[in-house]
Amino acid sequence: MNAPDAMSIRHAVVAAMPLAEKLFTILRRSTTAGAGVSRESYGPGEQIAHDLAAQFAREQGLDCAIDPAGNLYLTLRGRDASLPAWITGSHLDSVPEGGNFDGAAGVIAGLVVAAGLRRAGIVPARDITVMAVRAEEASSWFAGSHQGHIGSRAALGMLEPQELSGAVHSRDGRTLGEHMREAGFDPIAIRGADPYLTPERFHGYLELHIEQGPVLENIGKPAGIVTGIRGSSRARNARCIGAYSHSGAVPREYRSDAVLATAALCTLLDDAWSEMQAAGADLVFTVGKLCTDPDAHGITKVPGETRFTIDLRSQEIETLEAMTARARAIADEIGRERRVTFDLGKFDLSAPARMDAGLQEALAEGANALGIDAPALPSGAGHDAQDFAHAGFRAGMIFVRNANGSHNPHEAMAMEDFCLGTQLLAWMLVR
C-alpha cells in the first residue's frame, strides 16, 4: 500500500480540526491563572493538560504509557510493528502567565493527526507515538543548578542525577526530585535506569511549535521548516569595576567610569554583531540586564560599577566561540583604555542543534505537495527537539506563524495556520 496522497491527508486533518479547537478551548479554560495560562512544571496546570491529553487518546483508541519522569506516550498503531516508530510531540507546561499555544500546539497537532487518520481509515506504515513532554519550561519555575528541558532530557538519559536535587523550586524551595515524586513519578528510577527512549527504536522525532519570533508573521507565511536550533553562550554575572568619584570635580583623564566603559563594550559588540552577520554568520546578541548599583550610584557620582548579562545565540558553535572570544578581547582592551576592570565571569555554552537534513528535505517536499508556502528558518528559541537531536535522533521541526511572540498571554496563532502545519506533520507521519 502506498502512502496516502496529499488530498487525503488534507481531508483527514481538516475533518479533525474541530477536535483541536475543542482541546485548545478546554485547555485554556482549565489552566487560566492571572493574565494568561499557568501550567507549572510538575504542578496542577501541567497535570490537567496531561489528563486531558490521556482522556482524548483513550477516546480515540490510542495506547497510553507513562515513563518514570511523567512523560506521556499516546500511540496509534501502524501496519508494521517491527518498523521503528515515529515520535512527535512537544511540552504541555507553560511559563507563568504564558500563552495557550507554546508547547500545547505540538501535542494537540499529534493527537489530531492520530484521530484524523483513524477516522479517515488511514493506517500509517509505522507506529505514531505522540509524546506529551514534562517540564520543558522548568527554568521558569525552578531556580538553582539545572539545565531545563527536564522531561525530554530525563526520557533520553541526559538528565544529570544532581539536577534532581540541584533544581530548587522558586516559590517553595523544595527540589525538583521532591516535586516529581509528589506529582506521582519516580525520580529514583530515572537516576539509574537505561534511557526510556533510544534513537535506534525510532524513525525520528518531529515537533510542531509556534514560532516565538516575528519572522513568519512579517514575511506573511503560515508555516516554516526549521533548519536548526540556536545554541547559546551566556554570561549571567558580568561586571565592570571602575571607581566612584565626583561627577563635577574629576577631569576626564582621571575617571574610571564603569557606565561609559560598559556602553563602549555594548557598542563595540553591537558593531561586531553587524559585521559577523554581514559576513554570513547566524547570531543574535542581547544585554538583557544592565544596572549600576542602586545602593551606591547617584546622579552626581561617576559610576564605579555595573552588572550585566550577555546572551549570544547562534546555529554555529564556531560563531558562539568567536563572539565570546571577541567579547573578552574587547573588554580587556576597553579596560586598559578606560582604567576599569571587566569581569565577564563564566560563559555557559549550550551547543546548537541541527535539524536532520533528510527530514528538512522531506518536509519541503511535503509542503510542496500540500501547496503550503513554508520557508526554511532557524529557531532562535530552545525546544525539546534539540535534546532529541543531541541524543542522536533524526529531528525535525515545523513552525506555525504566531503574532506577538511567546511567553506572554498575547500569543496569537490562527487555526488556519495551525491546520496547515498539522497537515504537513500528518504528511510526514504517514511516510
∠ CA(299), CA(305), CA(310), 5° rounding?
115
Rounded to whole angstroms, the Cα distance separating 354 from 173 reads 36
Distance in Å, CB of 248 to a copy of itself, minimum: 4
∠ CA(118), CA(400), CA(104), 5° rounding?
60
Rounded to whole angstroms, the Cα distance separating 230 from 312 reads 9
Nearer Cβ to a copy of itself, position 274 or 368?
A: 274
Nearer Cβ to a copy of itself, position 377 or 426?
A: 377
Of all helices (H) and strands (E), which one includes residue 300?
none
Q: What is the 3-state secondary structure (H, E, C) of 50-95?
A: HHHHHHHHHHCCCEEEECCCCCEEEEECCCCCCCCEEEEEEECCCC
Distance in Å, CB of 277 to a copy of itself, minimum: 7
Distance in Å, CB of 348 to a copy of itself, minimum: 10
CB–CB of 285/277 below 8 Å?
Answer: no
CB–CB of 312/320 below 8 Å?
Answer: yes
Of all helices (H) and strands (E), which one includes residue 391?
none
Distance in Å, CB of 111 to a copy of itself, minimum: 25
Distance in Å, CB of 49 to a copy of itself, minimum: 19
Nearer Cβ to a copy of itself, position 134 or 230?
A: 230
Rounded to whole angstroms, the Cα distance separating 308 from 112 reads 45
Distance in Å, CB of 255 to a copy of itself, minimum: 8
Nearer Cβ to a copy of itself, position 121 or 252?
A: 252
Return all residues near 214 (Cβ < 8 A) that are at least 6 apart: 403, 405
Nearer Cβ to a copy of itself, position 2 or 300?
A: 300
Nearer Cβ to a copy of itself, position 55 or 286?
A: 286
